[in-house]
A = this chain, B = another copy of it.
């Protein structure tokens, strides 16, 4: 099996947000899809280890903010790279709250959805949340940020939608567990063997090269 072939699957980029017991938290996710239209349901896959996931499971609701292509990388990275265990993720981030008091972003987004979890499937390292969509509104115009756009932006490649190959042939190293894209100064191959993913702490061996 060529695990890098899985990188050809297309995803959007979203912030899952929740407020539980006066703590607001959020994290970057890429697997949020509409699963039925009558009633409107979405399914969302999230790593069990994430604090946001645990708060969502406890509360039974969440928001999804759909990031737009103009979303600054530092917003994505502050939600994707830090743990809410050590900081307040929404501090300094302009946000509103939905009917469940869960936070969502209005700026740098195209839409938000307010979800009530109807069932939770344990699929190993992740939970799959099946949710009823109770609110859904547009927040901006433009194009969505896709997961491919995010990887391209991080590795300095041009975001262009053509049949041409990417304009820069730099190899990108991606954590297959949490999808963190390595962007350190030291070449990936030269990192020490005991180096671990700064986001999920998994070993260097779970990274795959994508060129």
* A24 interface residue per 8 A CB criterion: no
Do A41 and B123 have beta carbons less than 8 Å apart?
A: yes
Using CB atoms, name the residue of chain B closest to A149: B161
Using CB atoms, name the residue of chain B closest to A66: B8
Kindly identify which residue among B6, B10, B35 contacts A113, using a CB–CB cutoff of 8 Å: B6
The segment out of A78-86, A87-95, A130-138, A180-188 that lies at the interface is: A130-138
A-side interface residues toward B, CB under 8 Å? 1-6, 8-13, 31-41, 43, 45, 66, 68-70, 110-113, 119, 121, 123-126, 128, 130, 133-138, 141-144, 146-149, 159-163, 165, 176-177, 206
Nearest Cβ in chain B — how far from A127, in angstroms? 10
Cα A202 to Cα B5 in complex, Å, equals 36
Do B162 and A66 have beta carbons less than 8 Å apart?
A: no
Nearest Cβ in chain B — how far from A137, in angstroms? 5
Kindly identify which residue among B1, B125, B141, B161 contacts A38, using a CB–CB cutoff of 8 Å: B125
Do A110 and B43 have beta carbons less than 8 Å apart?
A: no
Cβ contacts under 8 Å, A3 to chain B: 37, 40, 136
Cα A57 to Cα B97 in complex, Å, equals 40
Nearest Cβ in chain B — how far from A8, in angstroms? 4
Cβ contacts under 8 Å, A130 to chain B: 121, 123, 128
In the complex this chain forms, how many copies of it are found?
2
Cβ contacts under 8 Å, A176 to chain B: 37-38
Do B36 and A126 have beta carbons less than 8 Å apart?
A: yes
With A1-B133, A1-B137 known as contacts, the answer to whether A8 contacts B121 (CB < 8 A) is no
Do A2 and B136 have beta carbons less than 8 Å apart?
A: yes
Do B144 and A8 have beta carbons less than 8 Å apart?
A: yes
Cα A113 to Cα B1 in complex, Å, equals 9
Do B66 and A136 have beta carbons less than 8 Å apart?
A: no
Nearest Cβ in chain B — how far from A21, in angstroms? 28
